[in-house]
C-alpha cells in the first residue's frame, strides 16, 4: 500500500498534477526520477523549486506535461488525432531526459496526418472523426382533405457537406460525385457539392448511425407560406372564391410546391477512433 509520503504534487507551469514516486521513477536517470528519489543535482535544482507546502514547481509547459505523465503511468504514447505540437512536446521530453518517450514521438511524427479511405485511398483501418451535414429541400404532398391527409415528404435531392474522404468512407457507392470528382490529393478538402444517389432520408440517417455518427444539430427554414405573385389565388377576388375553390387552388400542384417547400439540414458528428487518443481526466 502506498503511503502519503509517496504522493508527490507537481506544479508545472501553473498546472497542478498529483502522482506517486513510483510513477515518476518509471524511467530511470531522468529529472523526474531524480526528483522522486530526492537526489536532484545542483543543475537540476535550478529548474525545480521546492515550495513551502511541499509542492515542487517546474517552470515548463503545464498542459503538455499531461502527455508525459500519461506515458509514465501507462507506458503508452497517447496523442489526439492531428496533434500539431510534437516538436514542442519533444523539447519537453529532452528537458526531462525521457529518451524512450522522445523516440516514440519521432515515430509518431513520421505517420501521415492525412488518412485515406474509400475509392482508391489507402486506409489504416481506423475510423476518422469529423462532421457531416445532410441537407435537403422537400415538399409536403397533400391529400383530398388538405392538411388532415398529408401523405409524405417528397425529397428532390439529399446534399452532403463535409470532408471529401470522410463522406466517401460513410456513403461509399451511394455518394454521387459527378459534380465534384476530386482527386488523389484532396484528403483535407471540404466540399458541399456532393449528394446521394438515392432520395430516402431515413436510409441516409440509418447509415450515419451504423457508422457511429450522432446527430448534434439541426435547422430548418420552415414552410414557405407565400405563393407566386401571379398565382390565381392571389390575383382573384378572395370574396368571390368559395371554400371548395379555395381548397382546389391550395391542393393544385404548382401552389403546393411553392407554399410548402422547405429546406432542412442535419449535422452529424463522430469522435475520432485512431491509434492516438486524448487521455481522459481520470487517466491523467
Per residue of the chain (284 residues), give pLDDT as tens. Answer: 566 778 999 999 999 999 999 999 999 999 999 999 999 999 899 999 999 999 999 999 999 999 999 999 999 888 887 778 888 999 999 999 999 999 988 877 655 444 443 333 334 445 678 899 999 887 765 555 555 555 556 677 899 999 888 888 889 888 887 655 555 545 567 887 788 988 888 999 999 998 889 999 999 876 555 445 555 555 555 556 565 665 565 555 555 444 567 788 999 999 876 444 444 444 44
- CA 208/CA 196 separation, integer angstroms: 13
3-state SS, residue 270: strand
Cell numbers placing 5? 509520503
Homologous superfamily assigned to 7-111: Potassium Channel Kv1.1; Chain A (3.30.710.10)
8 Å CB contact between 56 and 9: yes
3-state SS, residue 71: helix
Domain extent listing, the chain? 7-111, 130-225+254-270
Q: What is the pLDDT of residue 133?
A: 94
8 Å CB contact between 68 and 98: yes
- CA 50/CA 218 separation, integer angstroms: 53
Amino acid at each position: 500500500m502506498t503511503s502519503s509520503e509517496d504522493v508527490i504534487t507537481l506544479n508545472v507551469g501553473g498546472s497542478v498534477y498529483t502522482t506517486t514516486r513510483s510513477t515518476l521513477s518509471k524511467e530511470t536517470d531522468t529529472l523526474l526520477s531524480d526528483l522522486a528519489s530526492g537526489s536532484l543535482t545542483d543543475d537540476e535544482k535550478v529548474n525545480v523549486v521546492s515550495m513551502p507546502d511541499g509542492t515542487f514547481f517546474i517552470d515548463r509547459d503545464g498542459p503538455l506535461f499531461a502527455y508525459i505523465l500519461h506515458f509514465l503511468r501507462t507506458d503508452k504514447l497517447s496523442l489526439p488525432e492531428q496533434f500539431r505540437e510534437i516538436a514542442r512536446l519533444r523539447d519537453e521530453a529532452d528537458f526531462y531526459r525521457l529518451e524512450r518517450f522522445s523516440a516514440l514521438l519521432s515515430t509518431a511524427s513520421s505517420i501521415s496526418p492525412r488518412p485515406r479511405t474509400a475509392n482508391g485511398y489507402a486506409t489504416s483501418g481506423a475510423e476518422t472523426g469529423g462532421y457531416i451535414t445532410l441537407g435537403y429541400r422537400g415538399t409536403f404532398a397533400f391529400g383530398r382533405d388538405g392538411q388532415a391527409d398529408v401523405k409524405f415528404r417528397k425529397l428532390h435531392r439529399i446534399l452532403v457537406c463535409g470532408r471529401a474522404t470522410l463522406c466517401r468512407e460513410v456513403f461509399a457507392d451511394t455518394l454521387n460525385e459527378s459534380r465534384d470528382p476530386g482527386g488523389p490529393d484532396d484528403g483535407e478538402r471540404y466540399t458541399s457539392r456532393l449528394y446521394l444517389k438515392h432520395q430516402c432520408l431515413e436510409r441516409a440517417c440509418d447509415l450515419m448511425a451504423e457508422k457511429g455518427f450522432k446527430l448534434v444539430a439541426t435547422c430548418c427554414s420552415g414552410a414557405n407560406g407565400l405563393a407566386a405573385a401571379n398565382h390565381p389565388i392571389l390575383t382573384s377576388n378572395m370574396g368571390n372564391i368559395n371554400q371548395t375553390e379555395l381548397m382546389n387552388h391550395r391542393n393544385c400542384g404548382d401552389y403546393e410546391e411553392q407554399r410548402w417547400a422547405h429546406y432542412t439540414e442535419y449535422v452529424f458528428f463522430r469522435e475520432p477512433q485512431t491509434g492516438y487518443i486524448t487521455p481522459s481526466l481520470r487517466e491523467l
